[in-house]
Amino acid sequence: MAVFIPEDKISEIKNIVDIVDIISDIVLLKKVGRNYVGLCPFHTEKTPSFTVSPEKQIFYCFGCGTGGNVFNFLMNHDGLSFFETAKMLANRYGIEIPAQTMSPEQKRRISERESLFAANKQAMDFFKHSLLSDTGGKIALEYLEKRGIEKDNITKFNLGFVPAGWDNLINYFSKKNISHELVEKSGLIIKRKSKNGFYDRFRNRIIFPIFDVSKQVLGFGGRVMDDSLPKYLNSPETPVYNKSRSLYGLHIAKEHCRASETVYIVEGYFDLLALHQHGILNSVATLGTSLTQAHVRILRGFVGKNGRFILVYDSDEAGIKAAERSIKVFDKAYVNAQILVLSEGYDPDSYLFEFGYKSFMDAASKAKSIIPFLIDSAVKKYGLFVEGKIRIISDLKQPLANINDSVERSLYIKELAEIIGIDEAAVMEKVRIVSGNKSIKANKDPSDKMRDKNLMLKGNRLERRIIAMMLQFPEILPEIITRKILDRFENKFLSSIGQLVLKQRDKEGLRDELHDVSTRGNGLISDIINSIDDREQRSIVASLSIGEDQWIRAGCLKLLSQFESIRNRQEKTLLQKIRAAEESNDHGLLLELLKKKQIQVRKNPELGG
């Protein structure tokens, strides 16, 4: 564990933070027994195998083998260091971390992230003030009013305005004694080509702040109010902003996506504002990029395994391009994705303001899944003459080849063949030719490595059971020590985990606290996980801890007696084999057996008597 934060502060964080609350910000969790389950945010899966234990304050995915405590979850999900994660949780729950405990490098890293978030927040305040208080903001407010954006939405989304000029932000931050280098790193200003000074990135634009799910300002989008180009301008990638993982409006939409198990995805800021203004709150917008697998995985965490994704486009051409581009992303994520193309000449913004909520929802109810949408679009485009049928197959053979599920692919091939009146085998052959260039393979299970580890441990089921018992029923630990159980383990990996459990038990007087359940459940397991640097070992501990076994002392003692009985028989058998080798003068076998005996004695000196 990092030494930059005092142990008492780590304990304070663990006792206050609830892992279910933290993970629920990212994953849709449902209570099953004593635990919660949901779709894993670390790999793609059809059936939820991601489990969270509120009692033990740990998580574990039975699909990919990722596991740990709340610190490990955020470190894996957000790419943070342990220190950054602890600092973020401390800030969220109002726990003060003494600054003097940081190393210079930790100070620099945490300071940069916090400083960037702070700079973005100050920039947002400047933009809001410019819109609502400055005389220049009057034109911008009139523009928003003309677009139909109400004051409630302006406030809810923290919309702003930046006046014309090259140094509005530069002067604002200079007055606050904030370095230009930091503001440049946030993407708000740009260094001049002459390297002499800076200029504002955003000038004379409506400003849309972009938030993460924790409502921290990541970056900004800006739109002109006339025909100037570029119409839209977004923040560049920064240490805190990644457009491939960010979605506009998600901080507001996430709970509504959860409740409805549906998400509407649009492309523009004003499209999203129009949806929210018309009561369609389960909607988000991409940020100048195609929908990515990271976007889909994030959204799937909110809508759940059976949730609907409805992509809204303003024309057949845009919808077709998006469908073709997105099929791989959605297919790999096992997502129920549908395409909604609005009437020609309308984007979601203009459609809603002209036709209203009911008309939009009626259109959404008729949205088609990706392949049926592409089939309909191709038939509409090319017709069903001979030449048209050839073009339809030419357009659809690649999207069909991109479907990983062979049954789904076969059903769509059959549907296409029936619609255009061509033999199914002929369509299948065209798809196979494409597949020959890029073979169709079932999704590779990301848990292969974990499964190999489990196979390696399979022959030690009793030892695994004992480690699980030690983790889940720490009252048995004195018995483990007295009977020297770990000394008789055959599997070194499991033995090392057992030693960690005993070491953590003794640490800081934990022996006297075994029966003292903390405000957040079994602190022993979380402490053990915190003490492990190796990710694989951490996941094994989580997997053995997450079970809902009902341990009682009598059952535990019976398990230990069973283990000792097996080991005693093995040792007796070894002695019998040694005597037999001596009697038969088989020196090679005798040497091998004596080496095994030596190993046993080293593990348990009492056997040498």
Please check whether residues 465 and 604 belong to one and the same domain: yes
Q: How far apart are CA 20 and CA 26, in angstroms?
A: 10
- Across the beta sheet with 232-234, what order do the strands follow? 160-162, 205-211, 217-223, 232-234
CATH of the domain at 77: 3.90.580.10
* Residue 63 within any structural domain of the chain: yes
Is residue 240 in a domain? Answer: no
Same domain for 75 and 15: yes
In a domain, 125, yes or no: yes
Q: How far apart are CA 454 and CA 573, in angstroms?
A: 28
Q: Are 261 and 361 in a shared domain?
A: yes
- pLDDT above 60 (res 534): yes
Residue range(s) defining the domain that contains residue 315: 250-366
Q: What is the pLDDT of residue 60?
A: 93
Give percent of the chain above pLDDT 70: 86
Q: Using DSSP, state whether 306 is helix, strand or coil.
A: coil
CA separation for the pair 154, 160 (Å, rounded): 8
**601 in the same domain as 546:** yes
433 and 456 co-located in one domain? no
The verdict on residue 217 lying in a domain is yes
Domain assignment present for 245: no
Is residue 360 a part of any domain in this protein?
yes
In a domain, 352, yes or no: yes
CATH of the domain at 324: 3.40.1360.10
Based on the fold, state whether residues 199 and 182 are members of the same structural domain: yes
If asked whether residues 117 and 195 sit together in one domain, one would say yes
Domain final residue pick, 72, 102, 132: 102
Instruction: Output helix, strand, coil percentages for the chain, rounded to the nearest 5.
Output: 55, 10, 30
Q: Answer whether residue 573 shows pLDDT above 60.
A: yes
Q: Is the pLDDT of residue 448 over 50?
A: no
Region for residue 9 given its phi and psi (left: phi exceeds 0; alpha: psi -120 to 50; beta: otherwise): alpha
Residues 485 and 507 occupy one common structural domain: yes
Q: Can you give the pLDDT at residue 174?
A: 94
381 plus 334 within the same structural domain: no
What pLDDT, on a 0 to 100 scale, did the predictor assign at position 439? 44
Cα dihedral: 225, 228, 229, 232 (round 10): 0
What's the DSSP call for residue 248? B
Domain co-membership, 457 together with 602: yes
Q: Can you give the pTM of this predicted structure?
A: 0.73
**Each residue's pLDDT tens digit, 136-174:** 799 999 999 999 999 999 999 999 999 999 999 999 999
Whether pLDDT at 339 is above 80: yes
Q: Is residue 239 part of a domain?
A: no
> Are 600 and 532 contained in the same domain?
yes
pLDDT at 285 over 90: yes
Q: Taking the CB of residue 455, how many other CB atoms lie within 10 A of it?
A: 9
Q: Are residues 220 and 268 in the same domain?
A: no
Q: Residue 472: is its pLDDT beyond 60? A: yes
How many domains does the chain fold into? 5
Q: Which tens digits make up the pLDDT trace of 88-117? A: 888 888 888 775 555 666 566 667 888 999
263-280: per-residue pLDDT in tens? 999 989 999 999 999 999
Is the confidence at residue 447, as pLDDT, over 80?
A: no
DSSP 516-529: --BTTB-HHHHHHH
Can you give the pLDDT at residue 185?
95
Domain end position, chosen among 69, 102, 135: 102
